[in-house]
Amino acid sequence: MPMRFYVVKLGGSLIGCAKEIVRRLCILAESGYGFLVVPGGGPMADLVRELYARGMVSDEAAHWMAVLAMEEYAYLLADGTGAELVDDPSPSQGLRILRPYRYLLEDDRGLEHSWDYTSDSIAALVACRLGSDMIKVTDVDGVLISGKLVPYVRASELMGFLSCMDQGSLRIIDSCGIRCFVLNGSSPDELIAMVEELPERCRGTVICSRSLECC
């Protein structure tokens, strides 16, 4: 069976159980999976947002400070979990965690330096470059439209609307032709069961580009 590889955006909203998620994904990887974890910014990025809102930093400075916040979260995720930290991503079996700062310093084309492009967008850009589907692990069940969970939606349909995805990631997903599976990671056990069902079944939401069938 060919390796199943995913870029996994692990959000800061799950900081309380994030290390356990990494441990469980490491175990799952032993059965033929590859995972590249792109960390969220967590409370470190919230501080950058606060400083930006107070007019203390520019868009350019805030962009790189937020990327460094992701790097801090990467070290937190790796600490005590046995996961490898990497600066140069490539598809491979096992679980690795991206330190995004040096990687993006080399080439961050495709990202605007604005709050429309956060860690979601960075994960989508990495997935696009690797030709991989993306899993967004967050604290909600998926995408809600009019208060209802939708099983699938095109990225273009969410542009301009508030959702659990930032606007930049939707633009990248739509232009690149990849899928993003939005899954709730609040229960690591349930998350692993959902990942094992992909891509045939998604118990969250599948976001796809206009060039792909969502299901």
Residue 2: the pLDDT is 74
Domain assignment present for 214? no
Domain assignment present for 73? yes
Distances (CA, A) of 194 to 27, 187, 202: 15, 11, 7
Structure token digits, residue 203: 């118990």
Residue 157: the pLDDT is 93
d(CA 65, CA 179): 28
Residue 215: the pLDDT is 55
Q: Is residue 3 within 8 Å of 35, Cβ to Cβ?
A: no
Percentages of the chain per state (helix, strand, coil), in multiples of 5: 40, 20, 35
Q: Is residue 96 within 8 Å of 35, Cβ to Cβ?
A: yes
Domain region containing 30: 4-208
Domain assignment present for 81? yes
Domain assignment present for 215? no
Residue 1: the pLDDT is 60
Backbone φ, ψ for residue 36 (5° rounding) = -110, 110
Residue 3: the pLDDT is 82
Structure token digits, residue 148: 């209802």
d(CA 142, CA 135): 11
Q: Which CATH number do you get for residue 185?
A: 3.40.1160.10
Q: How many domains does the structure of the chain reveal?
A: 1
Give the global pTM.
0.95
Structure token digits, residue 213: 């069938």
Domain assignment present for 105? yes
d(CA 7, CA 161): 24
- What secondary structure letter does DSSP report for 162? -
Domain assignment present for 202? yes
Residue 128: the pLDDT is 96
Q: Nearest-CA neighbor of 33 among 111, 98, 93, 97?
A: 93
Residue 161: the pLDDT is 87
pLDDT per residue of the chain (215 residues) written in tens, 0 to 9: 678 999 999 999 999 999 999 999 999 999 999 999 999 999 999 999 999 999 999 999 999 999 999 999 999 999 999 899 999 898 999 999 999 999 999 999 999 999 999 999 999 999 999 999 999 999 999 999 988 999 999 999 999 888 899 999 999 999 998 999 999 999 999 999 999 999 999 999 999 987 666 65
